[in-house]
């Protein structure tokens, strides 16, 4: 009896933890609350699969309980051998046909969704974005708009956005669980998918293919905005100034340091003519995160500049000359941070980004 009570307590504790932990997580980082067309399609397939599995489980357990109770060994039957049933064609047909039917029930919507999400019939008339995966960040180029940015992909709501994806190094995988499914990003061939967000907001994206030391830190964001805000953002990005001059005195010192140490890899305007070496820093002052993962603040920018290996081990900045020469310390990094925080295509971030920053501050 004591043994059973211990098992019951353990099971109860485990069930309680499952309920509590099921509430953990970040907003807009779950496939179970779909806010985009692809995620909705995937969610529907998940529900169908779960319902089929529940039916199978209930039927199997019912048969199991029935057989255990009806055909259990009773007193006086210790040496009795039950009647053996074999070669029953009806039973064999039934338990062969039923799994086939269940697989068909799951396969039909799965195949239909797969072909639907691979549809490129509207590609020429839609917004196209060339996505490049690099260790451990993402570059987004809008070829028709002739702009590019990094780490944050801006899209209008209720519009199909076609993503043409390739990697510049190893295989990555692009996933925004609240909006759409996954797609591998390969260095050998271009893969295309489309996404469509239903609601304005900032959605978390992840790399889901192990790609190196900081694979788990290869986050990005999709910023879904109204069509009007999107048009304003595109216009502002098209007019970012490569000859921008910092306003404050410390930012001007930081700009000089930036131009001596960083400009060979990082552009400060959004022109798509720049080669993809390091993340494009146009509109950096309106970003949601630093390095895609840390809160947007001067302190985090300084930490990234001084010791990028601590933030993202194995990232490409570790070969930067200023790190090899140890030419930028805390004081210099603070000046560069002041300069970077002035890089804004618009005076204020879009509403979705402002709300995201407030939510992140409240969570912390």
3: exposed, middle or buried (Cβ count in 10 Å: 0-12, 13-18, 19+): exposed
Note the pLDDT of residue 300.
95
CB atoms near residue 281 (< 10 Å): 24
> Which SS3 state, helix, strand or coil, does residue 175 take?
strand
Provide the pairing of β-strand 220-225 with 152-156. parallel
State the residue for tokens 């987004």: 140
| Sequence-distant (≥ 6) Cβ neighbours of residue 138 within 8 angstroms | 131, 132, 150, 151, 153, 174, 205, 218, 220, 292
Closest of 315, 320, 317, 318 to residue 211, by C-alpha: 315
Sheet with 127-134, edge to edge strand ranges: 147-150, 137-142, 127-134, 161-167, 191-195
In this predicted structure, what is the pLDDT of residue 155? 97
131 secondary structure, DSSP code: E
Res 23: pLDDT: 61
Residue 147 has which token pair? Answer: 């702009």
User: In the chain, which stretches have pLDDT less than 70?
Assistant: 1-6, 18-19, 21-25, 364
> What confidence score (pLDDT) does residue 3 get?
64
Confidence (pLDDT) at 88: 79
In tens, the pLDDT along 145-165 reads: 999 999 999 999 999 999 999
Mean pLDDT of the chain: 91
- Closest residue by Cα to residue 258 from 319, 317, 337: 337
Q: Which pLDDT does position 9 carry in this prediction?
A: 78
Q: pLDDT at position 21, please?
A: 66
pLDDT tens profile 301-313: 999 999 999 999 9
Contact between 34 and 42 under an 8 Å Cβ cutoff? The reply is yes
Query: Got the DSSP string for 42-61?
Result: HHHHHHHHHHHHHHHHHHHH
- pLDDT tens digit string along 63-94? 999 988 888 877 777 777 777 777 778 888 98
Cis peptide before 153 (omega within 30 of 0): no
At 74 the pLDDT is 79
- What pLDDT is recorded for position 364? 66
């Amino acid at each position: 009896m004591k043994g059973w009570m211990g098992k019951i307590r353990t099971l109860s504790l485990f069930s309680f933890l499952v309920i509590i932990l099921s509430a953990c997580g970040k907003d807009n980082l779950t496939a179970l609350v779909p806010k985009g067309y692809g995620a909705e399609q995937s969610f529907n397939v998940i529900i169908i699969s779960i319902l089929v599995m529940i039916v199978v489980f209930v039927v199997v357990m019912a048969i199991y309980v029935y057989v255990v109770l009806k055909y259990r060994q009773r007193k006086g039957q210790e040496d009795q051998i039950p009647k053996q049933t074999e070669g029953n064609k009806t039973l064999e047909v039934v338990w062969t046909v039923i799994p086939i039917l269940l697989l068909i029930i799951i396969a039909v919507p799965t195949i239909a969704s797969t072909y639907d999400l691979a549809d490129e019939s509207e590609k020429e008339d839609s917004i196209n974005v060339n996505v490049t995966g690099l260790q451990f960040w993402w570059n987004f180029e809008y070829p028709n708009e002739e702009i590019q940015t990094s780490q944050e992909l801006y899209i209008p709501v209720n519009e199909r956005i076609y993503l043409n994806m390739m990697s510049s190094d190893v295989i990555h995988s692009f996933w925004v669980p609240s909006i759409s499914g996954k797609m591998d990003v390969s260095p050998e061939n271009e893969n295309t998918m489309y996404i469509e967000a239903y609601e304005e907001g900032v959605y978390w994206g992840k790399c889901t293919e192990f790609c190196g030391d900081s694979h788990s830190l290869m986050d990005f964001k999709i910023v879904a905005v109204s069509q009007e805000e999107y048009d304003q953002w595109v216009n502002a990005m098209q007019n970012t100034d490569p000859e921008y001059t910092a306003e404050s005195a410390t930012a001007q010192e930081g700009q000089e340091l930036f131009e001596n140490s960083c400009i060979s890899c990082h552009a400060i305007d959004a022109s798509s003519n720049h080669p993809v070496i390091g993340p494009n820093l146009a509109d950096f002052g309106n970003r949601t995160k630093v390095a895609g993962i840390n809160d947007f603040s001067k302190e985090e920018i300084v930490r990234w500049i001084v010791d990028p290996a601590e933030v993202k081990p194995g990232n490409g900045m570790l070969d930067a000359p200023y790190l090899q020469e140890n030419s930028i310390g805390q004081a210099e990094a603070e000046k560069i941070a002041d300069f970077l925080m002035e890089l804004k295509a618009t005076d204020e971030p879009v509403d979705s980004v402002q709300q995201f920053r407030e939510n992140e501050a409240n969570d912390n």
